[in-house]
Amino acid sequence: MSRSPSHEVDAPSDIAVRFERVSRRYERADAPVNALDGVDLSIRRGDIFGVIGHSGAGKSTLIRMVNALDSPTSGAVFVDGVNVSDLSAGRLRDARKTTAMIFQQFQLLETVTVLDNVAMPLRLDGVSRREARERATEALQFVGLSDRVGSYPGQLSGGQKQRVGIARAIVRNPAVLLCDEATSALDPSTTLQIIDLLRRVNREYGTTILVITHEMDVIKDLCHTVAVMEDGRVVEQGSVMEVFVQPQTPIARSFVGTVIPQEIPGRVRARMGTAPLWRLRFLDDEVTTPIVGGLISEFGLQVNILHADMTDLQERTVGHMIIQVEGPQDRRDAAYAYLAERVVSIEEVFA
Ligand SMILES: Nc1ncnc2c1ncn2[C@@H]1O[C@H](COP(=O)(O)OP(=O)(O)OP(=O)(O)O)[C@@H](O)[C@H]1O
Ligand SMILES: [Mg+2]
């Protein structure tokens, strides 16, 4: 292999995709748009990395940089150590082989069979028809569609079509799988099946997966790491656990709130007195520790539970509770310190 010029190569090999101060400006007649605005991101090899944001946040623009369908106005994108924003056409074709993409609308060819849809990327690479079909058959077996190889896309359900999309994406064994709203056209139970399948792709082939979505449930069930985008910028990122347990920015709180309520319900607020409200967050065993009992028996306080819920997250349990505590100030302070030692986080909230 010829040695690449040094400016095209990124050394750390545990990073699959790296964005370095990436901006993308679209000049438009009405007003220019900064679809990406100084994005820095590193996606570890083998990670399932989710990017969440509202419509227009820049998510699709971000993902298109990875397979070089678009390129930055400034900054650079490295995939597998190669600067894909700065390649000649021939090298670009090679670099694109390290990525594959699945789409919301599946993008299958309606006039060829499922088998030939999956074999297509290999045929375009010049692989013989026979070998391409063999490898496509294996990929279809992996996604559980061995019995539909001869069907046409029009004869399949949405979930089955997305399985074909996944088979077609993995048939070349890409280092990075890109998913742009891959489950947004599917019903909830089919979404869960596709999520399971993507987790298997990640586990069994070690494929790094970049997931773009506006659904926090997808982040919760599929991803290990998450970045939150707003107006072309990454405003928050961390492990899914960190961001769900303690979202830092208003937008992250509002996304987390679609899965774990963050606000005090209006009907509760209407009936609340003036005593302080505390928001508690728990993890795993803490969820079952009798904390409220302790406040009553050890501190003689009155405790009113306004809200409590538990959510399964990455094979762990996250608890969330809002309580109102009544009693003398010194005992409330002691109780606050007592709780701070026993839960992941405690904060006073204001209705
Ligand atoms: N080719 C283009 N020309 C001009 N503006 C564009 C182009 N592509 C995207 N934009 C603008 O860039 C911004 C980001 O668009 P992008 O498609 O990345 O958002 P998104 O987060 O994927 O949104 P959605 O959730 O609706 O898919 C939007 O304001 C969009 O209008
Ligand atoms: Mg989009």
Q: Which of the two residues, 96 and 19, has the higher pLDDT score?
A: 19
Distance 270 CA to ligand 1 centre (A): 41
pLDDT surpassing 50 at residue 313: yes
Alpha helices in 179-318 (DSSP H): 188-205, 216-222, 240-245, 250-256, 266-270, 291-299
How confident is the model at residue 2, as a pLDDT? 38
Residue range 297-307: mean pLDDT, rounded: 88
> Are residues 176 and 207 in contact, defined by beta-carbon separation less than 8 angstroms?
yes
pLDDT surpassing 90 at residue 202: yes
Q: Which residue puts its alpha carbon closest to atom 30 of ligand 1?
A: 56
Q: Which of the two residues, 139 and 85, has the higher pLDDT score?
A: 139
Residue range 72-87: mean pLDDT, rounded: 90
CA distances from 302 to 67, 267, 323, 329 (A): 58, 21, 10, 12
Tokens 């993409």 locate to 101
**5 band by pLDDT with thresholds 50, 70 and 90:** very low
| Tens digits of residue pLDDT in 221-275 | 999 999 999 999 999 999 999 898 888 999 999 999 888 877 777 777 777 777 8
**220 band by pLDDT with thresholds 50, 70 and 90:** very high
Instruction: Identify the burial level of 55 via C-beta atoms within 10 angstroms of its C-beta, where 0-12 means exposed, 13-18 middle and 19 or more buried.
Output: exposed
> Are residues 131 and 122 in contact, defined by beta-carbon separation less than 8 angstroms?
yes
Read off the DSSP letter of residue 239. Answer: E
Angle separating helix axes 291-299 and 329-340, nearest 10 degrees: 140
Q: Which residue puts its alpha carbon closest to atom 5 of ligand 1?
A: 26
| Ligand nearest to the CA of residue 29, numbered in listed order | 1
Distance 57 CA to ligand 1 centre (A): 7
Distance 328 CA to ligand 1 centre (A): 55
How confident is the model at residue 6, as a pLDDT? 40
Ligand 1 mutation pick, 23, 60, 213, 251, max ligand atoms within 8 A of CB: 60
Indicate the average pLDDT of the chain: 89
> Are residues 179 and 104 in contact, defined by beta-carbon separation less than 8 angstroms?
no
Tokens of 335: 């109780």
pLDDT surpassing 50 at residue 326: yes
Residue range 157-181: mean pLDDT, rounded: 96
Mind listing the domains of the chain with CATH numbers?
6-256 (3.40.50.300), 266-349 (3.30.70.260)
Look at residues 300, 306, 256, 301 and name the one whose alpha carbon lies nearest to residue 279: 306
Q: Which of the two residues, 39 and 265, has the higher pLDDT score?
A: 39
Residue range 52-81: mean pLDDT, rounded: 94
pLDDT surpassing 80 at residue 73: yes
How confident is the model at residue 351, as a pLDDT? 64
pLDDT surpassing 70 at residue 7: no
Distance 206 CA to ligand 2 centre (A): 26
How confident is the model at residue 211, as a pLDDT? 97
d(CA 203, CA 232): 31
- 334: Cβ below 6 Å to ligand 1? no
Distance 107 CA to ligand 1 centre (A): 19
